[in-house]
Copies of this chain bind each other. A is one copy, B any other.
Amino acid sequence: MYTLLTKDPSSQARAGVLHTRRGLIETPIFMPVGTQATVKAVSPDELYTLGASIILGNTYHLHVRPGEGLIKDLGGLHNFMQWNRSILTDSGGFQVFSLARLRKITEEGVHFQNHLDGTPTFISPEVSMQIQHDLGSDIVMAFDECPPYPCSHEAMSTSLERTLRWAKRSRAWWDAQPIGSSQERHPLLFGIVQGGSHDDLRKYSAEALVDIGFDGYAVGGVSVGEPEPEMMQAVDASTPYLPDNKPRYAMGLGTPPQMVEMVARGIDMFDCVLPTRLARNGTAFSEQGTLHLKNAPYARDTRPIEEGCTCPACQKFTRAYIRHLVKAEEILGLRLISLHNLHFYLNVMRRTRQSILDGRFHQFRKDFVSGYATREESFAASS
Contacts and interface: CB of A to CB of B under 8 A. Distances in A.
Interface residues of A, number: 34
B65 A328 contact: yes
Contacts of A320: 66, 70, 74, 80
A307 to B, nearest CB: 17
| Chain copies in the assembled complex | 2
A316 B327 CA distance: 32
A328 B331 CA distance: 16
A288 B38 CA distance: 29
Given A321-B80, A332-B43, A327 B74 contact: no
A277 interface: no
B327 A331 contact: no
Nearest to A339: B43
A42 interface: yes
B74 A300 contact: yes
A73 interface: yes
B299 A40 contact: no
A74 B318 contact: yes
A312 to B, nearest CB: 8
A335 interface: yes
Nearest 3 pairs between A and B by C-beta?
Answer: A41-B331, A36-B328, A38-B332
Interface of A: 36-38, 40-44, 65-66, 70, 73-74, 80-82, 299-300, 302, 316-318, 320-321, 324-325, 327-328, 330-335
